[in-house]
A = this chain, B = another copy of it.
Amino acid sequence: MIKVGVIGYGYWGPNVARNFYSCQGVKLTAISDVSEKRLALAKSHYPFIQDFKNAADLVRSKDVDVVAVVTPVFTHFGVARDALNQGKHVFVEKPFTSTKAQAEELIDLAAKKGLKIMVDHTFLFTGAVRKIKQIIDSGELGRLLFFDSVRVNLGLFQHDINVIWDLAPHDLSIMDYVIPDRPVAVSAHGSVHFEGNLEDVAYVCTEFENHGFIAHFHVNWLSPVKIRRMLISGDKKMLVWDDLSPDDKIKIYDRGVEFTSTNGQLKNGIEELLVSYRSGDMYAPKIDNTEALRAEVDYFVRCLEKNEEPFNDGRAGLQVVRLLEAADQSVKNNGRRIKL
């Protein structure tokens, strides 16, 4: 029986607690929150738990094997380090840490202690993202051309992080998971419209080494309409994921471009290049609807039981933080290209 303590019972914490609570082989033993009101709520939901005002006390509890860190980003590093030092495995909310250096320190610490880190990139456990990965891995799309993500709405302003750190971790972790290649540079543009000096609109562009593959991200707290859409085109087929569509969230189009050229025998360079289009059927695969967080928590517990490394480990978290940090640096420097 794995004993889990949850730190932070604000917006997302109750979901994490509920899923650990209902997970086979787990006992939810402790919850902490700085707010007495939230702590009382937690206690009313789970009367049997130990409740702590301070995270530091929870991580020292003997009744805790795993600590779930569901607190503001700037606190992740301190709490997770403390937990690892106390010999606890950690489940950390995304984004993993505030800096690359912090992420690397936590990874090293966990390795030294023989502990596991899982970063809560929940979207990787949705039926949609798993289906996209499966389709890309199968080669069905052919050579990948671009990845375009839009995640915009009239959003809740965060007070400690900008829109990139708030929304882009979802999309960057998905890109990192489904695209085989790794980006080599990041450029980003953002804009601050209100007091507080936090970007509320941003565009992030990542370059890759080969083939002209490019990935682009639009994140925005000031859009009148909510859009959650990814386009992933290959030279054989093209995929659209509309996460807000009630049905048929993923569509795969049998569309493409075919180029043939009369190599070496070009006359005027224009008329010899033959372009042809294919446009065939579309299909929308059935998507599994299991709650993503439930699947993720189950997977984490299974990894702990078998002593296996989860794929969304500290390294996966670091990869996202590295991109966020570079994007931030680029925004602060008027879109300067940041090599990774």
Identify the A interface with B (CB < 8 A). Answer: 145-146, 148, 150, 152, 154, 157, 159-160, 185, 187, 189-196, 201, 203, 205, 207, 211-214, 216, 218, 220-226, 231, 233, 235, 238-240, 244, 246-248, 251, 253-255, 257, 259, 261, 270-271, 273, 275, 277, 279-286, 334-337
- Bound complex: CA of A238 vs CA of B182, how far in Å? 37
Q: Is B218 in contact with A223, judged by CB distance below 8 angstroms? A: no
CB contact between A218 and one of B152, B216, B246, B270 (< 8 Å): that residue: B216
Chain B residues near A253 (CB, 8 Å)?
Answer: 224-225
CB contact between A205 and one of B235, B248, B275, B335 (< 8 Å): that residue: B335
Q: Is A281 in contact with B270, judged by CB distance below 8 angstroms? A: no
CB contact between A283 and one of B207, B238, B282 (< 8 Å): that residue: B282
Stoichiometry (number of copies) = 4
- Bound complex: CA of A240 vs CA of B284, how far in Å? 14
Chain B residues near A273 (CB, 8 Å)?
Answer: 159, 195-196
Q: Is B211 in contact with A193, judged by CB distance below 8 angstroms? A: yes
Q: Is A259 in contact with B194, judged by CB distance below 8 angstroms? A: yes
Nearest CB on B from A228, distance (A) = 10
Could you name 17 residue pairs across A and B whose Cβ atoms are closer than 8 Å?
A: A145-B201, A146-B220, A150-B150, A154-B255, A160-B270, A185-B334, A189-B207, A191-B212, A192-B212, A196-B259, A196-B273, A203-B205, A207-B334, A223-B231, A224-B239, A281-B283, A281-B286
- Chain B residue with minimal CB distance to A201? B146
Q: Is A214 in contact with B235, judged by CB distance below 8 angstroms? A: no
Q: Is A157 in contact with B201, judged by CB distance below 8 angstroms? A: no
Q: Is A233 in contact with B238, judged by CB distance below 8 angstroms? A: no
CB contact between A246 and one of B193, B226, B238, B261 (< 8 Å): that residue: B226
Q: Is B189 in contact with A205, judged by CB distance below 8 angstroms? A: yes
- Bound complex: CA of A244 vs CA of B244, how far in Å? 11
Chain B residues near A277 (CB, 8 Å)?
Answer: 154
Q: Is A261 in contact with B195, judged by CB distance below 8 angstroms? A: yes
Q: Is B257 in contact with A154, judged by CB distance below 8 angstroms? A: yes
Nearest CB on B from A68, distance (A) = 23
